[in-house]
A and B are shown apart, each in its own frame.
Chain A
Amino acid sequence: MSAHEANASGAEKAYANGPWTLPGHRVCLAKETPLRLDSGVKLHDVHIAYDTWGTLNADKSNAILVCHALTGDHYVVDPHPITGKPGWWSNVVGPGRVIDTDRYFVICSNILGGCMGTTGPQDINPDTQKPWGLEFPVITIGDMVRAQKLLIEHLGIETLFAVAGGSMGGMQVLEWAYQFPESVFAAIPIATAARHSAQNIAFNEVGRQAIMSDPDWCEGDYHSQDKHPHRGLAVARMAAHITYLSETALTRKFGRSLQDRDAVTYGFDADFQVESYLRHQGSTFVDRFDANSYLYITRAMDYFDLGQHHDGQLARAFKDTPVRFLVMSFTSDWLYPTRENREIVHALNAGAANVSFVEIESDKGHDAFLLDEPEFHKVFEGFLEGCAEHRGLQRKPT
């Protein structure tokens, strides 16, 4: 039985009650020393699912950690085992690509609280032998990064050459640079923010309410009752998906075009292509994502505010940091607009950090960081090249 077949009924069934069947690696860490979470809870036996590409060099100086976004996972390059779609950053990571796996050793792990193999709310609580559900502790971006640090140490890597990611992945990048500045040579936060805005918390709350108002959510205990809040999760995804695009992109792609019909039906079917598209996004999402994971991860994003430990002074969080930064934003991204990315840059400048920043012209909205944007890729690749030279890694043969 292939991994795909094994998981046809949903990601949450992939491993929770049986052997690990998804492709990639999975390791159990924090066995002796528990992972101490920001909430104060101590989590032991943390499973981390991850994958790697390329080869770690002899002095272990060529490792790049890729951090995934809210609904991403560690299937960065290879086709996704459940959806069969190309890896989410397969246009960026690979042989000869921006993050060149012929030169770099690339790591990506499913985040803590995720649902593709890393310990999360759908997992079995080792203390009760039942799915965690809402008993799972609330986690933060900082907790996700500390879990990743355990993995990096497990892989024997002291310093990452680079940490890169967009959206919530960018938050992890910032958190890495903040918590472990000596373990990161270069940081590339993309289309992100140093603190979650009121608008973004509001959008997340809509998603959570959609899930929690689905009767099949069962107060978070749906796993035990063999139910799934698919309708709520699909609505959450539909609402969120709009925020990843731009009006220009939606208009270009769909306009007011009708779906397989010549006239409106005077009913509530998906008359418009854009409706049909969103419904499809919602219904395919539930096959690969766990509703409780969605609650926990969006909560972690909402709590993210790097300046909070420094009286709101983000600059102090990065004072005299040795990390080299490249911050990138996209002109049409209204979820993590340039303004918020610039706040990071201002703080880094004020802290005398080594920072580069570029705003990429794109009309594709927040999702631009996942798409084929040649300017974005060129700057990204150039920055890595420059860092490789500063780091003493061999430059790309030309």
Chain B
Amino acid sequence: MMMAADGGANPKSIRIDLQLIADMIEPGTRVLDAGCGNGMLLDYLWREKQVDARGIEISTQGVQACVSAGLSVVQGNVETDLKDYPDDAFDYVILSQTLQAMHEPREVLAQMMRIGKRAIVSLPNFAYWRLRLYIMFKGRMPVSDKLPYEWYNTPNIHFCTISDFVALAQEMNLSIEKSLFLDEEGTSKTIGKSILAANWLGEQAVFLLRK
């Protein structure tokens, strides 16, 4: 669904994980949404937070929707195109539900931290208890509403868990300024130090990272 630019975005209508991301962003800042889809988050940020919003999107359809809504979006591949941006070009670089689809997730994260002062990453948690049980009892790769793909056609080639991501951030010397997880009811909770619990209960997680 695309926010009709003339109707204005209804703040309540954006997806809960996008809302969590939006809440981490200071008004009036410069933001790049890497993999912005049809521009729902950018449209919200522009209208509600007066953000200078930019996007990268691979699909023509997505770019078209964004450009038509007055958003500045470049058709391209996040994996190859982040390198074209100068250092510290943005206050925030967002990667929403996409890191696990990258060939080189670590390199993408490094590029995000280079071009942005901060990065916001949201990802599905592969250690979520329902997925663990799915594998344990069915012995098959999990398929669910949130992860509707079979192993052979999934774009998600680098699944990780909340614990995995925290470990990567530490390894890359990134400080986690905020971290949230979403449980199955869609309620968000702070991960903080209770990583093991979050790793069990969290269906998705959102991280705000700083160099």
Q: Which residues of A contact B (CB under 8 A)?
A: 315, 324, 326, 342, 345-346, 349-350, 352, 354-361, 375, 378-379, 381-383, 385-387, 389-390, 395, 398
Contact = CB atoms under 8 A, between A and B. Distances in A.
Contact of A386 (B67, B74, B76, B84): B67
B68 A385 contact: yes
Given A346-B84, A352-B86, A378-B64, A359 B75 contact: yes
Interface residues of B, number: 22
Contacts of B67: 326, 356, 358, 379, 382-383, 386
B76 A385 contact: no
Chain B CB within 10 Å, residue with most, of A358, A385, A386 = A358
Contacts of A389: 5, 70
A385 B71 CA distance: 11
B69 interface: yes
Given A349-B84, A375-B64, A379-B63, A357 B69 contact: no
A350 B84 contact: yes
B72 A354 contact: yes
A326 B69 CA distance: 13
Contacts of A346: 84
Contacts, number: 72
Given A357-B75, A395-B6, A386 B60 contact: no
B134 interface: no
A120 B170 CA distance: 66
The majority secondary structure among interface residues of chain A is: helix
B92 to A, nearest CB: 15
Nearest to A360: B60
Contacts of B74: 345, 349, 355-357
B64 A379 contact: yes
B209 interface: no
Interface string B122-164: 0000000000000000000000000000000000000000000
Interface string B49-65: 00010100000100110
Interface of B: 5-6, 52, 54, 60, 63-64, 66-76, 84-86, 89
A386 B86 contact: no
The majority secondary structure among interface residues of chain B is: mixed
A382 B64 contact: yes
B195 to A, nearest CB: 36
Contact of B68 (A355, A357, A360, A382): A382
A342 B75 CA distance: 9
Contacts of B84: 346, 349-350
24 contacts: A315-B86, A326-B67, A342-B76, A349-B85, A350-B84, A352-B89, A354-B52, A355-B74, A356-B63, A356-B66, A356-B67, A356-B71, A356-B73, A356-B74, A357-B63, A361-B60, A379-B68, A381-B68, A385-B5, A385-B68, A385-B70, A386-B5, A386-B71, A389-B70
Contacts of B54: 354
A349 B30 CA distance: 13
Contacts of A358: 60, 63-64, 67, 75
Given A361-B60, A383-B67, A398-B6, 5 more contacts: A350-B85, A357-B76, A358-B67, A379-B67, A395-B6
A378 B75 CA distance: 15
- A-B pairs with lowest CB-CB distance, top 8: A386-B70, A382-B68, A357-B74, A346-B84, A358-B63, A358-B75, A356-B67, A383-B67
Chain B CB within 10 Å, residue with most, of A324, A342, A349, A383 = A349
A147 B171 CA distance: 58
Nearest to B74: A357
A398 to B, nearest CB: 7
A362 to B, nearest CB: 11
